[in-house]
Structure 1
Amino acid sequence: MAETVSTPHLVIEDEEIFDAHVGGKLSVELKSPLDTQRALSIAYTPGVAQVSRAIATDATLAKRYTWANRLVVVVSDGTAVLGLGDIGPSASLPVMEGKSALFKEFGGLDSIPLVLDTKDPDEIVETLIRLRPSFGAVNLEDISAPRCFEIERRVIEALDCPVMHDDQHGTAIVVLAALLGATKVLNRDMASLRLVISGAGAAGVACANILLAAGITDITVLDSKGIVHRERDDLNSFKAELAERTNPAGRTGGLAEALDGADVFLGVSAGVVPEELIATMAPNSIVFALSNPDPEIHPDIAHKYAAVVATGRSDFPNQINNVLAFPGVFRGALDAGARRITEKMKVAAAEAIHSVVGDDLAVEHIVPSPLDPRVGPAVAAAVAAAVDEDED
């Protein structure tokens, strides 16, 4: 008997899932048919030699006469894949293929997955430097923390093209968009919120950074050992730096101490939050339980106490999904010829996602659906405009 993947609204047979992945999910399609001798002579030898000679004389022509300028590579070492952990490059490839498919569907961008059989940051950076003529942007994906911070920083420094670790910044962008929606529908001042982030990995750090930039000053971050604070002597350099910029009240302890009276819970870890702790949050609270496939607290339970609840799952209202952000972010950056993806561009993307909801804003509709065709173009336009402002 076939196994099933079950949700409250959806049952998918195991066989159907595997059948959809047979042979992978990607293929290369021709822009023009090669059905005549003339077409073959233009696309390949001898005609292609003229294009190659022209590029050899003027390297900037590669942007016009190859796909590299608008090709996104989705790069992973398979060390932090979904909720599966360190499963290696081959097992991560189906996920990266899916990411490339999303780039095409929601951003209109060609993309290829590139999984690397190494965990060495030096080797990963060097590989991308050597491959730079083949692509126009880098989406880093599913690389474990804290290595992901160093790798992203070094790749950005080494390459003259847009680079973004989506597990960090894609998540942060959509979280900010969702919080803009939640606070608007509840008529609350975002800057006055007391916010708790469970998880100090890639997503948690990036969410803290973008929410601090958005004006929230009272943010408490927790890792597996409790509240991240200045007096702890077991923090790595990234958490120690974060401790200097968060937890202004100097809270110590664990989740119970952090959540007592808090306005917002943001879960980006694989932990579990007991119902009794959510019950201690402030009235009109907001719960974003984003762990997949199992949220930190079930939405039905969170709804007993919170005014707005969101998850990362498609079978509950308010899905906070990175697909709302990354296709449009990269499309806008490439359209504008940006060399970097800046904080201003990320905030612009969040505001664009929020704007798409418009008059449909409700407690169960704080972000648009990932399938809403307006999202990608709106994000791309906002990001491209932000690039122009930065260059001015």
Structure 2
Amino acid sequence: MSTHRNIKQEALDYHSNGRPGKIKVVPTKNTKTQRDLSLAYSPGVAEPCLKIKENPEDIYKYTAKGNLVAVISNGTAVLGLGDIGPGASKPVMEGKGVLFKIFADIDVFDLEVDTKNIDEFVTVVKALEPTFGGINLEDIKAPECFEIERRLKEAMNIPVMHDDQHGTAMISGAALLNALEIVDKEPGKIKMVVSGAGAAAVACVKMYLNLGVKKENILMFDIDGIINIHRTNLDESRMVFARDTPISTLAEALSGADVFIGLSAGNILSQDMIRAMAPNPIVFAMANPNPEITYDDAVAARPDIIMATGRSDYPNQVNNVLGFPFIFRGALDVRATAINEEMKIAAVYALASLTKQPVPEIVNIAYGEKNITFGPQYIIPKPLDPRLLATVAPAVAQAAMNSGVARKPIMDMEAYKQELNDRLGINNSIVRVINEKARKNPQRIVFAEADNIKVLKAAQIVEEEGFAFPILLGNEKKIKQLIAENKIEIKNPVIIDPRSEEALQKRVEYGEMFFEKRKRRGLNLYEAKKIMRERNYFGCMMVANGEADGLISGLTRNYPDTIRPALQTIGVEQGVKKVAGMYIILTPKGPLFLADTTVNLNPNAEELADIALLTAKEVERFNITPRVAMLSYSNFGSSDTPEARMMGEAARIAKAKQPDLIIDGEIQAALAFDTEVLKENYPFSDLVSGGVNTLIFPNLSSGNIAYNLLKEVAEFELIGPVLLGLEKPVHILQLGSSVQQIVNMVVMTAFDAQKAKGQ
């Protein structure tokens, strides 16, 4: 977790605001009518019950068991918090459930068991087998966790895995294979030192042995020192790794060592210890939140080092989210009776192999890199890589089939991979992508309405998260009073009051620049200087003059009052005739891009074509191929009205200007998403092969109504409105936007500012 100044209260608010907690249960079938309810429950529910009684395997056909995992803990080893008890561990278990869902579309019930007795714990979990398709054990202390997992795996006929042990082992195992390949060393010949002997460390070493590392070449330390045969306080799990050696200190062990594995405590390694290691040392300092040695210190000590940590702010993050969602996905999809060593090793090699493949542009964008390539700075995939699901899960499923634990083999693996990509919408990580991109290169963003408490809270968040450097416009005294009264913490806030005496010189400078732009459009010099007292004009001139990179406004102002200053001061991109407004709607199947939703009242066919091309260009920035539908109440000439003909003409104009664009229309919204009906009735359409992700509306009314319905009735999350076509980014908030929506728009503004600079 981040160490932000207000993160404690923010985390409490996050969990308590609205509906408490992070998860809820949602019906997957219709429940609106009496008939629906009679099918869902009595009397209809008796039929699947009888079928399951006749054939127990039908439980996977008629219930959610096949996609349901239990995240189970007794709270004895929670994160870095230790033994805090089952109740206090529940937020963590809910969080684990969220990760299962967003990364692999696996449903989770979290279960917190109030016992430290191994027999009781095993009895409780074993009794739950009819309910779940898999069991994820979580945050159970060693050595009890070893015995609990062993006994449950023996007793249960569904996948059981203690992720704290095996997750880190698999991810670091993949990283180790790749690191050794880079430095041209063989697993069987390396000398390894391990600091830590808890559940994760023991599982890691066992995995490395499976990958070819020799046990006699490993020296292992715990809190009491080196694990040797003379120790009398070793349990069975550590005794396995006891060595007969005169070495007693970590410094001695590291002399000449090839690999260091740390799963212990922060800052226990010195630069001298790193310097004493063999050429091209491999150091995985995975203690959290502080690694055994900082990345910067390690690299300074040994420029030839390959370094990995558990942190996201340095290269090569060993993050369990690279493993557990996809391992369970593959295991569930073949109805595996276990997660065995073959499946775990398959996941290791799948991760290692994926790292060597060309990285999708969306991953480069997310991490602010030009071209991520296999090498010392990239030995394991990035957590936001959309290929993980369709790479790791099939490898695990195949290993389950090969090792004889799969009860439902997959016949067409390529079709399965496509199903996985479609399951969550492979391109539906837009928010995470633009967040990471903004954080890599934060921009200077003007907040034109900084005398508003929601805007100030958003400014605090974007500064803390490193998304942007906020510039606050408004009355300085009022802003500082709001900051103090609401305990908002912004480091050295930049506050500018365009009406103040201090801003006079800038008002004059900006006024003269504005006069040059507008002197032949009915504006005199006096008016140009006077209008700079208005925050939207002053802020837009900061952006136009390069003293800021983007602006957000509109929370308390009318849309035209915000867009007009931007058009008059900044202007449009070269070749753009009219700006347009777009919303990004985040649906479970992927993002939808809607335009024009905010600017042009009744565009003609030529303008609609330009709007479509502007929107398609923005969609491509997310490394998504735009598939554009020109919407109407008509399908390909079925209505011979001017409105319908206009949308068809707009599609033809856009296609003529950009022949490779996938675009068609006019078409009804329902048909655009129904590829089967479309294929049957209009096989000539560009949209037959893959549906749509970009919707162009015939006028402002229809676009505006559509996105509001999707937001309020369908409850989809949205980003916008995004102004398209300006030379530099100015984005306009919706009236009444929440703090999070403001933050999202700031991040989008920073993202667009990077594009404007060619970054």
TM (normalized to structure 1)? Answer: 0.93
Residue type at the aligned position of 1:366: I
Superposed counterparts of 1:323-334, under 5 Å: 323-334=321-332
User: What is the alpha-carbon distance in structure 1 between the residues aligned to residue 206 and residue 212 of structure 2?
Assistant: 10
Secondary structure of the structure 1 residue equivalent to 2:354: helix
**Which residue pairs with 1:37 in the alignment?**
34
Q: Tell me how far 1:337 sits from its aligned partner.
A: 2.0
1:253 aligns with 2:248: yes
**C-alpha deviations, 1:215-253, integer Å up to 9, x for none?**
11111111112221223222112211232xxx5x73530
RMSD between superposed Cα atoms in Å: 1.8
**Which residue pairs with 1:212 in the alignment?**
209
Please, which of 11, 15, 29 is the counterpart of residue 17 of structure 1?
11
Verify the 8 A CA contact 1:93 1:113 in the aligned structure 2: yes
Verify the 8 A CA contact 2:69 2:133 in the aligned structure 1: yes
**Which residue pairs with 1:140 in the alignment?**
137
**Which residue pairs with 2:68 in the alignment?**
71
User: What is the alpha-carbon distance in structure 1 between the residues aligned to residue 246 and residue 353 of structure 2?
Assistant: 35
Q: Tell me how far 1:13 sits from its aligned partner.
A: 4.0
**Which residue pairs with 2:375 in the alignment?**
362
User: What is the alpha-carbon distance in structure 2 between the residues aligned to residue 158 and residue 238 of structure 1?
Assistant: 21
Verify the 8 A CA contact 2:66 2:333 in the aligned structure 1: no
User: What is the alpha-carbon distance in structure 2 between the residues aligned to residue 130 and residue 357 of structure 1?
Assistant: 40
1:308 aligns with 2:306: yes
**Which residue pairs with 1:59 in the alignment?**
56
Quick check: 286-295 or 12-21, which moved more? 12-21
Q: Tell me how far 1:44 sits from its aligned partner.
A: 1.8
User: What is the alpha-carbon distance in structure 1 between the residues aligned to residue 231 and residue 24 of structure 2?
Assistant: 50
Secondary structure of the structure 1 residue equivalent to 2:161: strand
Secondary structure of the structure 1 residue equivalent to 2:108: strand
What are the ranges of 5 or more consecutive residues in structure 1 without an aligned counterpart? none
Secondary structure of the structure 2 residue equivalent to 1:132: coil
Verify the 8 A CA contact 1:106 1:373 in the aligned structure 2: no
Verify the 8 A CA contact 2:66 2:335 in the aligned structure 1: no
**Which residue pairs with 2:388 in the alignment?**
375
Verify the 8 A CA contact 1:203 1:268 in the aligned structure 2: yes
Q: Structure 1 residues 62, 332: closer, same or farther in 2, change over 3 A?
A: same
**C-alpha deviations, 1:261-318, integer Å up to 9, x for none?**
1111111112522332222211210111111111111111111225111111112111
Q: Structure 1 residues 251, 136: closer, same or farther in 2, change over 3 A?
A: farther
Quick check: 274-283 or 92-101, which moved more? 274-283
Residue type at the aligned position of 2:158: C
Q: Structure 1 residues 29, 251: closer, same or farther in 2, change over 3 A?
A: farther
User: What is the alpha-carbon distance in structure 2 between the residues aligned to residue 53 and residue 234 of structure 1?
Assistant: 55
Secondary structure of the structure 1 residue equivalent to 2:403: helix
Q: Tell me how far 1:188 sits from its aligned partner.
A: 2.9
Please, which of 268, 275, 281 is the counterpart of residue 271 of structure 2?
275
Q: Tell me how far 1:40 sits from its aligned partner.
A: 1.8
Q: Tell me how far 1:5 sits from its aligned partner.
A: 2.2
**C-alpha deviations, 1:363-387, integer Å up to 9, x for none?**
1111111121111221111111111
**Which residue pairs with 1:321 in the alignment?**
319
Q: Tell me how far 1:12 sits from its aligned partner.
A: 7.0
Superposed counterparts of 1:1-392, under 5 Å: 5-6=3-4, 13-22=7-16, 23-217=20-214, 218-243=217-242, 247=243, 250-271=245-266, 272-304=268-300, 305=302, 307-359=305-357, 360-391=373-404
Taking only the aligned residue pairs, the percentage that are identical comes to 48
Residue type at the aligned position of 1:220: L
Q: Tell me how far 1:97 sits from its aligned partner.
A: 0.8
Residue type at the aligned position of 2:288: N
Q: Structure 1 residues 83, 32: closer, same or farther in 2, change over 3 A?
A: same
Instruction: State which structure, 1 or 2, has the greater radius of gyration over its C-alpha atoms.
Output: 2
Residue type at the aligned position of 1:308: I
What are the ranges of 5 or more consecutive residues in structure 2 without an aligned counterpart? 358-372, 406-759
Verify the 8 A CA contact 1:251 1:257 in the aligned structure 2: no
Verify the 8 A CA contact 1:324 1:376 in the aligned structure 2: no
Residue type at the aligned position of 2:356: G
Residue type at the aligned position of 2:12: F
Quick check: 314-323 or 180-189, which moved more? 180-189
Verify the 8 A CA contact 2:334 2:400 in the aligned structure 1: yes
User: What is the alpha-carbon distance in structure 2 between the residues aligned to residue 181 and residue 17 of structure 1?
Assistant: 37
User: What is the alpha-carbon distance in structure 2 between the residues aligned to residue 294 and residue 269 of structure 1?
Assistant: 10
Quick check: 189-198 or 200-209, which moved more? 189-198
**C-alpha deviations, 1:318-373, integer Å up to 9, x for none?**
11011111111111112122212111111110111111112421211111111211
Quick check: 18-27 or 292-301, which moved more? 18-27
Secondary structure of the structure 1 residue equivalent to 2:194: strand
User: What is the alpha-carbon distance in structure 1 between the residues aligned to residue 404 and residue 394 of structure 2?
Assistant: 16
Secondary structure of the structure 2 residue equivalent to 1:197: strand
Q: Tell me how far 1:58 sits from its aligned partner.
A: 2.7
Residue type at the aligned position of 2:13: D
**Which residue pairs with 2:485 in the alignment?**
none
Secondary structure of the structure 1 residue equivalent to 2:142: coil
User: What is the alpha-carbon distance in structure 2 between the residues aligned to residue 279 and residue 17 of structure 1?
Assistant: 40
Verify the 8 A CA contact 1:125 1:155 in the aligned structure 2: yes
Residue type at the aligned position of 1:323: V
Quick check: 348-357 or 274-283, which moved more? 274-283
User: What is the alpha-carbon distance in structure 2 between the residues aligned to residue 123 and residue 240 of structure 1?
Assistant: 26
User: What is the alpha-carbon distance in structure 2 between the residues aligned to residue 237 and residue 199 of structure 1?
Assistant: 15
Runs of 4+ in 1 over 4 A off after TM superposition: none
Q: Tell me how far 1:196 sits from its aligned partner.
A: 1.0
**C-alpha deviations, 1:94-151, integer Å up to 9, x for none?**
1111111111111221111111111111110000122211111111111101111111
Residue type at the aligned position of 1:224: I
**Which residue pairs with 2:556 in the alignment?**
none
Q: Tell me how far 1:179 sits from its aligned partner.
A: 0.8
**Which residue pairs with 2:546 in the alignment?**
none
User: What is the alpha-carbon distance in structure 1 between the residues aligned to residue 6 and residue 194 of structure 2?
Assistant: 32
User: What is the alpha-carbon distance in structure 1 between the residues aligned to residue 130 and residue 273 of structure 2?
Assistant: 52
Residue type at the aligned position of 1:223: D
Secondary structure of the structure 1 residue equivalent to 2:356: helix
Residue type at the aligned position of 2:62: Y
Q: Tell me how far 1:76 sits from its aligned partner.
A: 0.7
Alignment: residue pair count: 381
Q: Tell me how far 1:213 sits from its aligned partner.
A: 1.2
Residue type at the aligned position of 1:320: V
Q: Which has the higher contact order (CA 8 A, sep 6+)?
A: 1
**Which residue pairs with 2:447 in the alignment?**
none
Secondary structure of the structure 2 residue equivalent to 1:303: helix
User: What is the alpha-carbon distance in structure 1 between the residues aligned to residue 327 and residue 351 of structure 2?
Assistant: 11
TM (normalized to structure 2)? Answer: 0.49
User: What is the alpha-carbon distance in structure 2 between the residues aligned to residue 334 and residue 25 of structure 1?
Assistant: 24
